[in-house]
Structure 1
Amino acid sequence: MQNAVTELMRISPLADELAKLFAKAGYSLYLVGGSVRDMMLDRLSSDLDFTTDARPDQVLKIVSAWGDAVWDVGIAFGTVGVTKQGMTLEITTFRADSYDRVGRNPEVTFGDSIEGDLLRRDFTVNAMAIDLANQAFVDPYDGLQALRDQVLDTPATPQESFADDPLRMLRAARFSAQLGFTAAPRVIDAMTSMAEEIDRITAERVQAELSKLLLADDPRPGVELLVDTRLADRVLPEVPGMRLAIDEHHQHKDVYQHSLTVLAQAIDLEKSHEPTSEPDLILRLAALLHDVGKPATREFQSGGGVSFHHHEVVGAKMARKRLRALKFSKEIIEDVSQLVFLHLRFHGYGKGEWTDSAVRRYITDAGDLLPRLHKLVRADCTTRNRKKAAALQATYDDLERRIEALQAQEDLDRVRPDLNGEEIMRILGLKPGPDVGKAWKHLKELRLDRGPLEHDDAVAELKKWAAENGIGG
């Protein structure tokens, strides 16, 4: 343990410097929470959390002249923020809060001991501290053993902890995904029996935790914990709802398990294609939700088969509705629902029978989402039949080659009609209005069907359409 403390001092001499300032003023200072946990896991970041027996106004006095910048936005909750040499430090006075167990916000009360402060934290792996003045490890609730065992448990009883703050149940799922830890049996029991308490939490906070969970290297354990404890029934019911449907390929226990596999495969493709980029929340949401329309569209056929006609249409509507309820941004809602809507279209490609017009429409409908759609469609192949899987991937390879060839031939990312609005008005003798828009849309559809037209051919097609629809002179 002393080696870990020594390593902290080597990595962050600022912590030692800050501790000396607090000691000089007569106060203790502890590195605490996730900072200690991450240090033990060799993943210490540039953001450090501290706790102290100094009250917030005293903290401000100590750090004001020392920090490069100081902010007190969280001072009502006892937190003062400081930046120093590119590092972000948050210093919070010992807390001994009480909760009304109706909402989530506590009645802020400052405490007098590090043990009392650690007791109110969410999990024992986050309830460890380092006394910086004495370079001593503080672990009253066996967080280090939990870290070694890779177990998520609570310092107080889970019932007390989750009653105080139900969001901690979602954090358990998130940490199981981020850290690969397993929730203790008593934590799982409490999450299951108290699942409805999550209704006290705002949609925005629920969404933030779900997003962090899905952005983990392996979200599957977190999703499974939410489903198994019935928390998903409250915050993302479409996911456990997929357990009711049998996958049409009969290769998976159910559509739920298939969707978890698609999520994992989408993440693998994401990492292999852009290994240095940030995790793609839009792709991951689409992978998890792409088949949510299946339970509502399931039909048992006379020969014993199962069909899910138009599940992509129903699924897109369901995804949009759920993401709105969770207060996701408009961009994320539209992008995810469009990917769900488009994910099945490739299966009409057959052995390459699509015309160039159909390929153009695939490109145009996907727009900027095309790279994500490529990954989603490939990830959606989960058959255990290697020959069939190889054939599907080869067919999609062929589609991508055709897309690349067409994009090289035409600028399909910004496809426009062969005549612009001014030309349409001049040729048809129109003034600005709805008819110009209709003509523009017709020419765009023509462009998608036939590719670029010569100018005279485009004019002829425009005049023909106008005559058929009684537009213009």
Structure 2
Amino acid sequence: MHREQENALVELLDIAPVADELAARFVAAGHRLYLVGGSVRDALLGRGGGDLDFTTDARPGTVLEILSGWADAVWETGIEFGTVAARRRGQTLEITTFRADVYDRVGRKPAVAFGNTIEGDLARRDFTVNAMAVELTGPGGERRFVDPHGGLAALAAGTLDTPAAPQDSFADDPLRMLRAARFVSQLGFTPAPRVQEAMTAMAGELARITKERVQAEFSKLILGAHPRRAIELMVDTGLAEYVVPEVPAMRLAIDEHMQHKDVYTHSLVVMEQAIERETDGPDLVLRLAALLHDVGKPPTRRKEADGRVSFHHHEVVGAKMVRKRLRDLRYPKAVIDEVAQLVYLHLRFHGYGKGEWTDSAVRRYVTDAGPLLDRLHKLVRSDCTTRNRRRAAALQRSYDSLEHRISELRKREELDAIRPDLDGNAIMELLGIPPGPLVGKAYKHLLALRMERGPMSHEEAEAELRRWAAEQGVD
């Protein structure tokens, strides 16, 4: 594309009016301002509306003076790195002075150095699609497209490449390798061959990055539009060994139905099917549970006497493995608990058969799932990947039956709030005992009866409590 065509394209971009207002202030101060990086990429993709990133030749102190009296709020949190953040009419802006950083290639924090040209600033960016800029301070407010590394052509081709040699780029900041996988998921891009080769050769460098930063990129990747493609890239390049080694380990286990190449492929299909069942946008907990639900299979794999492969109690082992991995990645406790519980429960439905469960078993299923019940429904249904249409239809009908029974019990018994028929205070009053462990034991006994029988009258509950107390030797 010729320069005239590029600039004509840029003139058509939907760039927020606040950007032009800010540019006018920089012109008045004798400085240049460029919309840069992801903001330009997303504008070209028609994905505008997010935060705006700018770069400028002005030093941070000057940027603060330019923003004074115009911005509704200003933050100096990143000023030591040359970044000043601001808000104007609800729009968040980040303005960073041209950078010419030098990396020691031991950690990932560079020695901050300010640059003097837009070209030098763009050369240090992670990928060519993020190394484009639009100057907003041209004569008469004219916009000028700056693309020294062919980012526009790469964007059109859906190719992910680096401005410099990928070995140099990834040596400077190994997190860029995981970011490449994230862009594969979010934008559907394909890494250039040299990029994938460098990722494969340098995957071990990811160990330099803090777990918190790795987790942040991995979560964005999981929540993207194409997470399967990104996971496959991570496994193929070896990055997964430094993030979720349990995933590539699943390639070693053939699943018991012999319907898939391996448990790894099955898990990717389950994740895709779970995504299709999402109703309120991307669900991190559901996606992680779907991807990791069978990680317990490799360590529990056994060959039985009849030649079949079994994975007894893999859900129990898998839940423990998931807890350990997600803790290592510094996920919040709530996420860890929810994903592990889904992994633990995902196999329970297979005892349902054609409806042999008692009402007590259905109550326990609902109670153990708690607020995760809707996600559990989605996970269990997604876990059916058999190519046998008759068997798949039978499994779905069986789960339809379970959901119907849950619905009927919920109407009758308020399943979402199952409690013993007597609370702690009533137990202490009836037995004449003070607070303590014995009250908890009595409570658990009544809860077990509630699960088994359903609701009891107050008189029945009192009689059962007295019977239990006599058995326990409580006067």
Settle same-fold status: TM greater than 0.5.
Answer: yes
- Aligned-pair CA distance for 1:468: 1.3
Match of residue 331, structure 1, among 327, 334, 344: 334
Match of residue 340 from structure 1: 343
Is the 8 Å Cα contact of residues 100 and 106 (structure 1) preserved in structure 2? yes
**2:61 is the counterpart of 1:57:** yes
Match of residue 106 from structure 2: 102
- Aligned-pair CA distance for 1:46: 3.3
In structure 2, do the counterparts of structure 1 residues 397 and 3 end up closer, same or farther at CA, with 3 Å as the change threshold? farther
- Aligned-pair CA distance for 1:5: 2.2
Deviations 1:51-91 (A, max 9, x none): 00000000110111111111111101101111111111110
The residue identity in structure 1 corresponding to 2:374 is: P
The residue identity in structure 2 corresponding to 1:105 is: K
* TM-score (normalised: structure 2): 0.97
CA distance in 1, matches of 2:416, 2:162: 52
Structure 2 matches for 1:146-185, cutoff 5 A?
146-185=154-193
CA distance in 2, matches of 1:74, 1:16: 23
> What do you get for the CA RMSD once the two structures are aligned?
1.0
Match of residue 120, structure 2, among 110, 116, 119: 116
In structure 2, do the counterparts of structure 1 residues 28 and 11 end up closer, same or farther at CA, with 3 Å as the change threshold? closer
Can you give the 5+ residue segments of structure 1 that lack an aligned partner in the other structure?
A: none
The residue identity in structure 2 corresponding to 1:101 is: R
**2:440 is the counterpart of 1:446:** no
Match of residue 424 from structure 2: 421
Match of residue 235 from structure 2: 227
Match of residue 80 from structure 1: 84
Structure 2 matches for 1:57-456, cutoff 5 A?
57-134=61-138, 135-270=143-278, 274=279, 277-456=280-459
How many aligned residue pairs are there? 466
Is the 8 Å Cα contact of residues 15 and 43 (structure 2) preserved in structure 1? no
Deviations 1:346-383 (A, max 9, x none): 00000000000000000000000000000000000001
Q: Secondary structure at the match of 2:295?
A: coil
Match of residue 29, structure 2, among 25, 29, 41: 25
Match of residue 41, structure 2, among 21, 26, 37: 37
The residue identity in structure 2 corresponding to 1:238 is: E
Is the 8 Å Cα contact of residues 124 and 152 (structure 1) preserved in structure 2? yes
CA distance in 2, matches of 1:81, 1:398: 55
CA distance in 1, matches of 2:27, 2:65: 13
Is the 8 Å Cα contact of residues 78 and 84 (structure 2) preserved in structure 1? yes
Q: Secondary structure at the match of 2:86?
A: strand
- Aligned-pair CA distance for 1:335: 0.4
Which sits farther off after the overlay, 132-141 or 420-429?
420-429
Deviations 1:203-231 (A, max 9, x none): 00000000000001220111111100001
CA distance in 2, matches of 1:46, 1:353: 52
The residue identity in structure 1 corresponding to 2:399 is: Y
Deviations 1:140-181 (A, max 9, x none): 001111111111110011111011100000000000010000
Q: Secondary structure at the match of 1:101?
A: coil
Identity of aligned residues (%): 67
Q: Secondary structure at the match of 2:167?
A: helix
- Aligned-pair CA distance for 1:3: 4.5
CA distance in 1, matches of 2:430, 2:75: 63
CA distance in 2, matches of 1:198, 1:45: 32
**2:12 is the counterpart of 1:7:** yes
The residue identity in structure 2 corresponding to 1:154 is: T
Q: Secondary structure at the match of 2:12?
A: helix
Is the 8 Å Cα contact of residues 184 and 226 (structure 2) preserved in structure 1? no
The residue identity in structure 2 corresponding to 1:80 is: V
Is the 8 Å Cα contact of residues 4 and 39 (structure 1) preserved in structure 2? no
Q: Secondary structure at the match of 1:194?
A: helix
CA distance in 2, matches of 1:176, 1:223: 9
CA distance in 1, matches of 2:69, 2:112: 27
Is the 8 Å Cα contact of residues 35 and 45 (structure 1) preserved in structure 2? no
CA distance in 1, matches of 2:63, 2:435: 65
Q: Secondary structure at the match of 2:34?
A: strand
CA distance in 1, matches of 2:199, 2:265: 22
CA distance in 1, matches of 2:271, 2:66: 48
CA distance in 2, matches of 1:242, 1:448: 37
Deviations 1:281-302 (A, max 9, x none): 0000000000000000001122
CA distance in 2, matches of 1:3, 1:400: 57
- Aligned-pair CA distance for 1:11: 4.1
